[in-house]
Amino acid sequence: MKFPARSCCSITKQIVLIILLGGVLAGVANLVHPHRIPWVQDWSNYVEAKAVQAGIEVIPLGLALSLHEAGEHWFVDARSAMEFEKGHIPKALCLPFEDLDNQFQALEQVLESDVPLVVYCTHRECDDALLLAIELRDMGRSNLLYYVDGFELWEESGCPVEALRNHETHQRHEN
């Protein structure tokens, strides 16, 4: 049995038409569905709103810096170990949320201590710190704060930064 020969252009047009039709149908389905996916979202406040919803106390840069300078809180970095090595808040503990199952020693240290924690990650849109804070709370850890602005704003603001790769510490610059 022989199939009729079709040109490459004809098949390509059909594929494009199917993809476009699928996109239109998906958009219509989203419009009529009772639990729509928003087309546009303000991600800069999304994670903070989720933290408030979860009952995790959110703190801004100024308070995080004050707590760090007072030295009475442990700062916990939820970013990857590679990001931590490139730079982190001085004396922070590396506890990557993405690799939490393999962080037994650090996790045990955090769970057994009564020292208040400040958990952070990269920036306001990063939710690893929030997910870590919720996980720690669910494991019985209380006295948690979530530094929402993250390491990027900390560094951009001239706050102290420590890097493991070059073993350097940069101090805050006063203008």
Going from N- to C-terminal start, the domains of the chain cover 9-39, 43-170
Confidence of residue 175 (pLDDT cuts 50, 70, 90): very low
CA–CA dist 6, 43 (Å, integer): 47
- The pLDDT assigned to 174 comes to 39
Q: Return the CATH fold of 43-170.
A: Oxidized Rhodanese; domain 1 (3.40.250)
pLDDT digits (tens, 9 = 90+) for 118-169: 999 999 999 999 999 999 999 999 999 999 999 999 999 999 999 976 545 5
pLDDT digits (tens, 9 = 90+) for 58-109: 999 999 999 999 999 999 999 999 999 999 999 999 999 998 888 878 888 8
**CA end-to-end distance (rounded Å), the chain:** 82
Tokens read off for 69: 């300078």
- The pLDDT assigned to 173 comes to 41
Residue bearing the bigger pLDDT, 171 or 132 = 132
Strands (E) located in the chain:
57-59, 74-77, 93-94, 117-120, 144-147, 161-163, 168-170
Phi-psi region of 140 (alpha: psi -120 to 50; beta: other; left: phi over 0): left
The closest alpha carbon to 60, from 143, 127, 124, 131, belongs to 124
Residue 57's beta-bridge partner residues?
A: 145
Find the range with the poorest average confidence among 1-5, 99-103, 111-115, 134-138.
1-5
- The pLDDT assigned to 8 comes to 66
Residue bearing the bigger pLDDT, 125 or 170 = 125
